[in-house]
Amino acid sequence: MESDGAEKNTNGVLAACGEKPNTHIFPSNKWVKLNVGGKIYTTTIDTLVGREPDSMLARMFLQDGGMMPSEKDEQGAYLIDRSARYFEPIINYLRHGEFVCDKHISLKGVLEEARFFGIYSLVTHLEEKLEQEQPLDDRPLTRIDVIKAIIQTSAITELRFQGVNLAGADLRKLDFRNINFKYANMSRCNLSHTNLNYCCLERADLQYANLECAQLVSVRGLCANMEGANLRGCNFEDPTGVRTNLEGVNLKGACLESSNMAGVNLRVANLKNANMKNCNLRGALLAGADLERCNLSGSDLQEANLRGANLKDAELTLMVTPLHMSQAIR
């Protein structure tokens, strides 16, 4: 009686989730037909269930799988609206555990089908295979690649990484002083605690990169894309008085909290929704910048140039020094 109650409860949960409970019982040696994209495949329940018991195909034919089998065609084959071209390597993988694929079949296509069917052991294998087959010119450089380049370059020689793909690389705590990263792809890089003093980051892609506590003294970052980047606790101020140039930079949604940005050139920069709490912005050039919904609470804006800046809904509470009207009037 207790098991009957549990079964009813499970069925009720599945119904609430919008899935019909599978009340069919299929013996493991039963043969079934699958109509995938118009092509018929004949296999056993054991093949569909044995290797990946949590996959969508297994759930269709397991008693407690939580999914009802799909509709049948006139030949009694279960209809599955997916690509037959990419399904064939998957069904063969379920049969013998080896991935075999003709050269003319796209691995990316098979990968997408494997993800759809929930064949996760195959997904992992295909992701690794695609990464290995990626052309060397397209592969992002790794931390080891970058360290080798730095070690092999003389201290008096300018190191150029212009246009290089460094996406996602772990580059934390490295010394990158005076390096040219113009047009480089550094999106989602870990650059925390790095020394980027006097670097060229002009038009570099630093979206969602982590630059927490980095040194960015006198950086040239004209029109760089730093959307969503973490620049918490960074130092931009050059004691010699040379401005860090971030003119036209995209810092939309970025975090610059507690950064020293005295004298920074942020002219016509996009700082929408940026977090600039408790920043030192003394003498900063913010003329024409978009500061809509930017949080500047607790920041020091003494002598900062805000002429023509968009301050709509900007947070300006607890300022270290009061703003003067002349700072924001053209």
Can you give the pLDDT of all 330 residues of the chain as single tens digits? 344 444 444 344 333 334 444 445 556 678 999 999 999 999 999 999 888 888 988 888 886 656 777 888 888 999 999 999 999 999 999 999 999 988 889 999 999 999 999 999 999 999 888 877 766 566 789 999 999 998 888 766 778 899 999 999 999 999 999 999 999 999 999 999 999 999 999 999 999 999 999 999 999 999 999 999 999 999 999 988 889 999 999 999 999 999 999 999 999 999 999 999 999 999 999 999 999 999 999 999 999 999 999 999 999 988 877 766 556 655
Assess whether 124 and 267 both reside in one domain. Answer: no
Of 133, 150, 172, which residue is a domain's last? 133
Shared domain for 99 and 140, answered yes or no, is: no
User: Which CATH number goes with the domain that contains 113?
Assistant: 3.30.710.10
Tell whether 74 and 46 lie within a shared domain: yes
Instruction: Give pTM, 2 decimals.
Output: 0.60
Q: Are residues 142 and 117 in the same domain?
A: no
CA distance 85 to 102: 10
Amino acid at residue number 268: V
Three-state secondary structure readout of the chain: CHHHHHHHHHHHHHHHCCCCCCCCCCCCCCEEEEEECCEEEEEEHHHHHHCCCCCHHHHHHCCCCCCCCCCECCCCCEEECCCHHHHHHHHHHHHHCCCCCCCCCCHHHHHHHHHHHCCHHHHHHHHHHHHHHCCCCCCCCCHHHHHHHHHCCCCCCCCECCCCECCCCECCCCECCCCECCCCECCCCECCCCECCCCECCCCECCCCECCCCECCCCECCCCECCCCECCCCECCCCCCCCCECCCCECCCCECCCCECCCCECCCCECCCCECCCCECCCCECCCCECCCCECCCCECCCCECCCCECCCCECCCCCCCCCHHHCCC
| pLDDT score of 103 | 86
CA of 128: how far to CAs of 103, 116, 121, 180, in Å? 17, 18, 11, 32
pLDDT of 96: 92
pLDDT of residue 320: 74
Asked whether residue 64 falls in the same domain as residue 111, the answer is: yes
pLDDT for res 6: 40
User: How many independent structural domains does the chain possess?
Assistant: 2
Q: Do residue 50 and residue 171 come from a single domain?
A: no
Q: Are residues 78 and 160 in the same domain?
A: no
> What pLDDT score does 12 carry?
40
CA distances from 268 to 15, 23, 25, 291 (A): 55, 64, 67, 10
**Same-domain status, 205 and 147:** yes
Please identify, among 114, 133, 152, the residue that sits at the C-terminal boundary of a domain: 133
Among 110, 133, 156, the domain boundary falls at 133
Instruction: Report the pLDDT value the prediction gives residue 64, as an integer from 0 to 100.
Output: 66
153 and 239 in a common domain = yes
125 & 189 share domain: no
| Domain ranges, residue 291 | 134-330
Q: For residue 231, what are the CA distances in angstroms to 70, 212, 248, 255, 298?
A: 51, 5, 17, 6, 17
Q: What is the pLDDT of residue 325?
A: 53
> In this structure, are 280 and 323 located in the same domain?
yes
Q: Say whether both 73 and 163 belong to one domain.
A: no
- Structure tokens that stand for 190 in this block: 């870990």
Structure confidence at residue 37 (pLDDT): 92
- Provide the CATH number for the domain around residue 319: 2.160.20.80
